[in-house]
Amino acid sequence: MFLFRMKTIKSQMNQTLPRRSRGFTLIELLVVIAIIAILAALLLPALQSAKSQSMGIKCMSNMRQMCLGWRMYAQDNREFVVLSSMDPGRDPLNKYVWTTNEEDFSPNAYNYDPVAAGITTGPLYPYIGSYMVYKCPADTSVVSVDGRQYPRVRTVSMNFFFGGFAGVGAGAGAGVGSWGNEYPLYYKTTDLIPVASPGPCDTWVFLDERQDCINWGNYLADMEGDTPYEPALFQFSQDMPGMYHDKSAGYAFADGHATIQHWLDYRTTPPLVSNPSTAVDAENGPAAPNPLAVPRDVDVRWIQLHSVRPLPEYQ
């Protein structure tokens, strides 16, 4: 009986006493770490893609806001639109330029101060009310001033063919082929009629330009090879579209809609210049100082078809 009770008590103690926990072995820890690393490698691209998409949504919102302000300005001014770029010799008309900013990588205040950049003092700003929408959220460009870095103020450029250089067209000169005299300028929203233009739905007004080549307020689409149609002549000259959203750029169109245009040809999205801080007028992007030849680049054709139409005598 005594022995039976002792066995019973011992059995109860074995049931109530906690078992001593066994730690992980080194091999088990390494396996767990390896699994975590694999999962992180699988999730990271998805997270980066999600971040890029969220910035793209913000970019489209900015573009729509820009174009809404552009349309409101026109409605208040008998359908006349703001001009895409200034001309130092045409002061009476420069007051109608959407921004006088000539962005580069110097420490000058016009690169990081929206007032000095002529953004908040431009004719379009009262209809927009925020200088933040003039820059793509994915633009990482900065300028150094007395040892401190400041984000640059503008990524957005305007279609050159809306008013040109304070009312002056591209002409045929440095950086522009003979085609420069073959295309019109649009001064009013009512100029965007079929044949004379791609039409309001297909004529872009604003885009996000590459941070290593943006300079003046305009983006001049290179129309080489457009008419007559010779795709072997396609090229970029100084201006190139942005590639901020997974090799895409934000665009706003004259009818008010915005979109993210994805580039299909790798030549449209060469790597950013590694050291743009040495540039003068930021003209050191891939398309400068000489045109960047991209024969049969389908992206060039898309830009041409959505920028302008040749004058009737050249069609």
pLDDT digit string (tens) for 242-272?
Answer: 998 889 999 999 999 999 999 999 999 999 8
Q: What is the pLDDT of residues 129-184, one digit of tens each?
A: 999 999 998 898 898 899 899 999 999 999 999 999 988 888 766 567 789 899 99
Query: What are the backbone dihedrals phi and psi of residue 44, each rounded to the nearest 5 degrees, phi first?
Result: -60, -50
Kindly report the pTM of this predicted structure.
0.82
pLDDT: is 150 or 238 the higher one? Answer: 150
> Which is higher by pLDDT, 284 or 194?
194
Query: What integer best gives the mean pLDDT of the chain?
Result: 85
- Residues contacting residue 51 through CB under 8 Å, at least 6 positions apart: none
- Stretch 95-113: mean pLDDT, rounded? 90
What pLDDT does 14 receive?
53
Q: What is the pLDDT at residue 123? A: 94
CA separation for the pair 114, 2 (Å, rounded) = 95
Please determine, for residue 16, whether its predicted confidence score (pLDDT) is greater than 60.
no
**Residues 210-233, mean pLDDT to the nearest whole number:** 93
H/E segment holding residue 32: helix 26-76
Convert the pLDDT of each residue in 59-84 to its tens digit: 888 999 999 999 999 999 999 999 99
Is the pLDDT at 100 greater than 90? The verdict is no
**Residue 4's pLDDT is what?**
46
Q: Between these two residues, 204 and 9, which has the higher pLDDT value? A: 204
Q: Does residue 216 carry a pLDDT above 50?
A: yes
**What confidence tier does 49 reach under pLDDT thresholds 50, 70, 90?**
low
Q: Which of 32-46, 171-185, 276-290 has the highest mean pLDDT?
A: 171-185
**What would the mean pLDDT of 113-142 be, rounded to a whole number?**
92
- Cβ atoms of residues 152 and 143 within 8 Å: yes
Determine the Cα angle at 62 with ends 59 and 67, to 5°. Answer: 125
